[in-house]
């Protein structure tokens, strides 16, 4: 029997997860579980490149893990764990940082963006975190990494570092490919549809949390920005309507063209209400499952401890190989 290819991915616990995270990534992750050997981590080590409130970081890390599970990531099919519970991530990151070049790190667009946003705290971790990201992936010999376009540059860097290491020390790492499956929906802000839906949006009506109650979701969609026309159609000059059509198609499984036909001749009011109701119906089981998990802390703890144990076995096998290759004395 052919071995399943391995997929590795994760999200930072930098806030509650949004509809954008769900439709853009999580919904695809769930589908991959049957076809691939999947590892999904809560990337709490990456989160500290920006100053965090410790109690808040702990709380959000747990919430993100439970949201993974509530969305349908099954601990029986996938390995779920906190990045910080596998010290090999930091250990491999050091070795790889000695095989990464200053020039290639300084070209990372996310470093430039985050340096502008956090000008009072441009720390070394912010500069080198793409190396930690490379370690996250290479540690598990991942074949594929599901990413959005904004992360492609980091995957290219990971591939460069892996190839360079393999060239100097012999075949050590699987060189990963970006997984561009059926494109996750690119969900834009409900208030400024030219920008991606983001948990850092200053306007709370711009995003939908995965755990928002039904009435809040519907209210946010009713307030969604459209345009002065009344025709429901996707077009570059109609970003608000196009965004709502994309969301509606993603949660109902219809195509955008089918959605356009469904709302032909109906006003924006009816359309926005229908999108809100469809999203609320999609997220209702997620909220229900999350509430059940929140009451069963022992089970959640069992999941992440078992996940870290399994991940560590894989990770230390790779790290042992790396240490031998570079000439460290065996423990």
Name the residues annotated as catalytic: 114, 196, 199
φ, ψ for residue 272, nearest 5 deg:
-65, -40
Taking the C-alpha atoms of residue 273 and residue 235, their distance in angstroms, rounded to an integer, is 20
CB 190 within 8 A of CB 243: yes
Structure token digits, residue 321: 């190989």
**Which of 130, 98, 99, 101 lies closest to 114, judged by CA?**
130
Crossing angle of the two packed helices 109-117 and 124-138, in degrees rounded to 10: 140
Element (H, E) at 184: none
Q: In angstroms, rounded to a whole number, what is the distance separating the alpha carbons of residues 325 and 172?
A: 8
Report d(CA 267, CA 254) in Å as an integer. 20
Residue 71 and residue 209 in contact, taking contact as beta carbons nearer than 8 Å: no
CA distance 174 to 171: 8
HEC string of 125-182?
HHHHHHHHHHHHHHCCCCCEEECCHHHHHHHHHHHHHHHHHHHHHCCCCCCCEEECCC
Instruction: Tell me the CB-side half-sphere exposure of residue 314, using CA atoms within 13 A.
Output: 22
Query: Which pair of tokens denotes residue 219?
Result: 């209210």
| Local structure of 39: helix, strand or coil | strand
Rounded to the nearest 5°, which phi and psi values hold at 13? -85, 55
């Amino acid at each position: 029997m052919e071995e399943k290819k391995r997929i590795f991915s994760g999200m930072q616990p930098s806030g509650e997860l949004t509809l954008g995270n769900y439709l853009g990534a999580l919904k695809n992750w769930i589908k991959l579980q049957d076809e691939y050997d999947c590892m999904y981590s809560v990337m709490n080590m990456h989160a500290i490149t920006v100053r965090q409130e410790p109690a808040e970081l702990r709380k959000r890390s747990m919430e993100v893990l439970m949201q993974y599970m509530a969305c349908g990531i099954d601990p029986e099919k996938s390995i779920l764990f906190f990045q910080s519970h596998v010290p090999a991530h930091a250990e491999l990151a050091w070795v790889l940082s000695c095989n990464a070049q200053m020039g290639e790190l300084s070209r990372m667009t996310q470093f430039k963006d985050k340096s502008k946003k956090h000008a009072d705290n441009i720390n070394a971790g912010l500069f080198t975190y793409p190396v930690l990201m490379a370690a996250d992936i290479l540690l598990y010999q991942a074949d594929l990494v599901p990413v959005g376009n904004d992360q492609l540059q980091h995957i290219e860097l990971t591939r460069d570092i892996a190839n360079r290491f393999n060239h100097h020390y012999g075949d050590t790492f699987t060189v990963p490919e970006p997984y561009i499956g059926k494109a996750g929906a690119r969900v834009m802000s409900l208030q400024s549809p030219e920008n991606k839906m983001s948990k850092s949006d200053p306007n709370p009506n711009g995003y939908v949390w995965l755990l928002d109650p039904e009435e809040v979701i519907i209210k946010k969609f009713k307030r969604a920005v459209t345009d002065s026309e009344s025709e429901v159609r996707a077009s570059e000059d109609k970003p608000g309507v196009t965004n709502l059509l994309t969301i509606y198609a993603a949660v109902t499984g219809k195509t955008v063209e089918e959605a356009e036909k469904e709302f032909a001749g109906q006003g924006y009011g009816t359309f926005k209400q229908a999108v809100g109701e469809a999203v609320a119906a999609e997220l209702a089981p997620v909220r229900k499952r999350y509430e059940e998990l929140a009451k069963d802390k022992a089970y959640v703890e069992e999941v992440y401890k078992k996940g870290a144990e399994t991940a560590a076995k894989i990770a230390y096998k790779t790290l042992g190989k790396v240490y031998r290759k570079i000439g460290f004395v065996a423990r």
